[in-house]
Structure 1
């Protein structure tokens, strides 16, 4: 089995870390203005790669280094023969340092500086957003808010320089309002906040340009997170041994489906079977057994009215999945308590998490994967959903510290917190906003755990396969109407490459 580590993933940094990398690069002998010119040149090449036929551009320049990047890019565009509209939210005479030198460079290239006013029109075919950089911490206000609203209302494509203005670089939260970019070109170190939270709705394509800075060489500035890559799938699912048998592939026990809530358990069990578990047992309310046999007869469904009906199933399993359709009543409580008492690794989802928050508020284990969405995470942390979403990385890390094991905070840019730190899954699509997606995910996780992957790597690979399967399904037939049950067949193809 392939050995996984964060060394195979792209590092992500927080704004202060990138600022320190920038400072050290300059201290190492690269002039600050030369580094700004390098960033602007990279942004210009990114612009041309995305919009090669454009003949006119509007460049929105704020203050500081982000605005400076915009001024230099405006000069480069003019020198390349484009018609350039340079809109300045801070007068060049009020700038200092490298930003002032950048504005002077644009002046010398013959690019007029138009002061921003609320009713002005954009003349370019594409807008370059160089308003606010990664240092933004408070809510966007005043003229900058007006300018961002105007950009978003224009309907024009947008290149964001380093980060869409108004997006928090560390969390992906929107600070009042944020630019909706078509592409974001970011420099030196890729930013955590470009890949989670609200970010996918604002960044468009993310084009990372390191500018020749080898961030990994600074061992005292460790990445804050790592980004999953789809290339992991092929390398982590090699062909099986020609002598493999079902006992080698593990036994998943799914405890799910209280009376009246059978669908969730069926989805989880089927997903576990399609992801290669050798055996899948489903312990569910008796009225759901027939449906299970019809949906996937390979799943060994057992009707369970009470814990006594489980028999030796918990001891026979290699991994126990508990939670989908569990309910909060006596049946669900008994199933969860049984799972917690088994000496088996667990995947806990849905009402299993809600019951943990209610009845086991201090329970911590190192042999489980918890899979909350923001609402469940809020209940586990005893905070509001808005607080979770305002700083998703902090929320998932807090949960992992409190509860142990591996925690997956679902949503756009799902976050995985485990012993190796924080990992981000950048795949998936809005078609996944439908019931049962979490049930399919936890079934996939359980199947991978049964096959011998460590729980942390289970979380990485399970999220990756789940999201990529959804992307393939959406590419084939569209996002609207995508169902959780559609994912299993695409996931199966993903883990059988070649």
Structure 2
């Protein structure tokens, strides 16, 4: 079964590429730069008023670049609307240039005043317009001190374009960083706002293209795409009336060493709930009966030797390898035989640890590491992985010629050649054991139904996160089984 990708994609950009979008709008499409700044300030003010309608006083913290210029526009609009405005400037107006200088001049022309950064922050809402997307080094000195005051004052914080101190390309803070309750970003979505630690600092994200022409995007490379729930029906179209289980793939889950019976059962259950026609389980002999008692639809087989494993690999078209696998001789034997098979393959957990010990390349496989497993695969530290998740995912995809899912906040899907997608869904309630096992089963089921490795990974990550969001409504914590039980709610009918 072949699926044609015909869904709309939401582009993500590096910071330098968003600056090029801005240049295209101004220089190629003749949009006045100050008009663009006024649009940004007006839209930001509208969002602020809608979110905090009770606010009667604002504090604007303005830097020395265009981000600060946006702040001056917001200050003028707020004063005209009758709000009390405190504007703290890191640079005097006569030190500014370009459109930022013009915005400061207009603020002073309506009677606006400027205070030094050591003043007490008095606003009901603090607006962060200090540092834009061009930041490429740790925040220090006066900026760091003011950011500390913003975070300590206890008032709601609204960030303009990007929370000051956050790397817009990686989603990681550069030293100290503004902790915003909401962030509005403009022109093009910055990729770093959707992964890494961005969720700690951005709060609610609002995007506005500022009525710029769509043509500006034609000249700029897209760094990644943002997964969207509207993509699911394209990947999983309605089934023909005469569909039967033989059309929907046969997944073999291999794992479940001594003391780890549950992991492959979760993967098998997730594969069944994601539409696999048949699901077999190769596990330790003591665990086979347990699997059937939990989910009778699983065809569980006790496997202690390769002779018992071999027939199961010949009957499936996808192998999910790793949940509860372990790293002993039994594990290594199953791992080697599965990797040698001419079958689509999803590798997780100890399957990845065994791959790190014996690196290899093959086609039609998906690797699903969390940052610790990714660090072992690339022989580096977890901090290095998290410092630039995009670079790490791309390196893994290239090194193993694989589609890679780098799990975590803003899970990334990377394919060979630089293709990249980011998942904006999921929640902290999903931080519990077994979630990765469920994802492995979901992706394996989608491979069995005919999706390409990249599409199966994207669709699987999206389904997993959306089901987690449904299961986590009004809950602080959910289990992998809760997520699996809610897959029905996100699958297209």
TM-score (norm 1): 0.95
Aligned-residue offset at 1:217:
4.3
CA contact (8 A) 1:133 1:163 kept: yes
Aligned equivalent of 1:439:
437
Q: Return the offset for 1:232.
A: 2.0
d(CA) in 2 for partners of 1:50, 1:437: 34
1:457 aligns with 2:450: no
In structure 1, what is the equivalent of residue 153 of structure 2?
154
Shift of 1:72: 1.0
Are the equivalent residues in 2 in contact too, given 1:90–1:115 (CA < 8 A)?
A: no
* Structure 1: distance between partners of 2:83 and 2:26: 31
> Against the structure 1 CA distance between its residues 473 and 311, is the aligned structure 2 distance closer, same or farther, given a 3 Å change threshold?
same
Deviation at 1:94, TM superposition (A): 2.1
Q: Give the superposition deviation at 1:64.
A: 0.5
Compared CA separation, residues 230 and 63, structure 1 to 2 (3 A): same
2:485 aligned residue: 489
Indicate the SS of the match to 1:21: helix
Which residues in structure 2 correspond to 1:44-59 (within 5 Å)?
Answer: 44-59=45-60
How far apart in 1 are the matches of 2:98 and 2:243? 66
CA contact (8 A) 2:61 2:88 kept: yes
CA offset digits 1:220-240 (Å, max 9, x no partner):
412100001122234543432
Structure 2: give runs of 5+ residues left out of the alignment. none
Instruction: Please say if residues 21 and 216 of structure 2, whose CA atoms lie closer than 8 Å, have aligned partners that are also in contact.
Output: no
The residue matched to 1:478 in structure 2 has which SS? coil
Q: 2:204 and 2:38 mapped to 1: Cα distance?
A: 22
Match of 1:405 among 398, 402, 405: 402
* Post-superposition CA distance 1:406-446 (Å, at most 9, x none): 10000000000115711000000011111111000000111
The question of whether the paired residues in 1 share the 8 Å contact of 2:163 and 2:179 is answered with yes
Superposed, 1:76-475 pairs within 5 Å as 76-117=77-118, 120-214=119-213, 217-359=216-358, 361=359, 363-419=360-416, 421-475=419-473
CA separation in 1, counterparts of 2:89 and 2:215?
36
Distance 2:459 2:154 in 1: 37
Secondary structure of the equivalent of 1:8? coil
Q: CA RMSD in A?
A: 1.5
Measured against aligned partners, the alpha-carbon deviations of 1:113-139 in whole angstroms (never above 9, x if no partner) come to 11111xx33221111110100000001
Distance across 2 between alignment mates of 1:65 and 1:217:
20
In the alignment, which residue of structure 2 is the partner of 1:15? 15
Moved more, 321-330 or 17-26: 17-26
Deviations 1:379-424 (A, max 9, x none): 1111111011000000001111111131000000000011571100
Q: Which moved more, 1:324-333 or 1:217-226?
A: 217-226
**Cα distance, 1:48 vs structure 2:** 2.1
Residue in 2 aligned with 1:75?
76
Q: Answer whether contact 1:304 1:310 (CA < 8 A) is retained.
A: yes
Shift of 1:47: 1.4
- Rounded to whole Å, the distance in 1 between the matches of 2:472 and 2:370 is 22
Q: Is contact 1:429-1:479 (8 Å) kept? A: no
Shift of 1:493: 2.2
Unaligned runs of 5+ in 1: none
SS at match of 1:288: helix
The 2-side partners of 1:312 and 1:281 are apart by 11
Separation in 2, partners of 1:157, 1:236: 40
Report the secondary structure of 2:297's partner residue. Answer: coil
DSSP-derived class of the 1:134 partner: coil
Provide the C-alpha distance between the structure 2 equivalents of 1:418 and 1:57, rounded to a whole number of angstroms: 45
Conserved in 1, the CA contact under 8 Å of 2:235 and 2:455?
no
- Matched residues in 2 for 1:2 and 1:330: separation? 39
Superposed CA deviations along residues 247-295 of structure 1, whole A, max 9, x for unmatched, are 1111000011111211111111111111111110000011111221111
Q: Distance in 2 between matches of 1:30 and 1:487?
A: 48
Distance across 2 between alignment mates of 1:227 and 1:181: 22
Count of aligned positions: 490
Moved over 6 A (4+): none
- Counterpart CA distance in 1 for 2:194 and 2:295 is 36
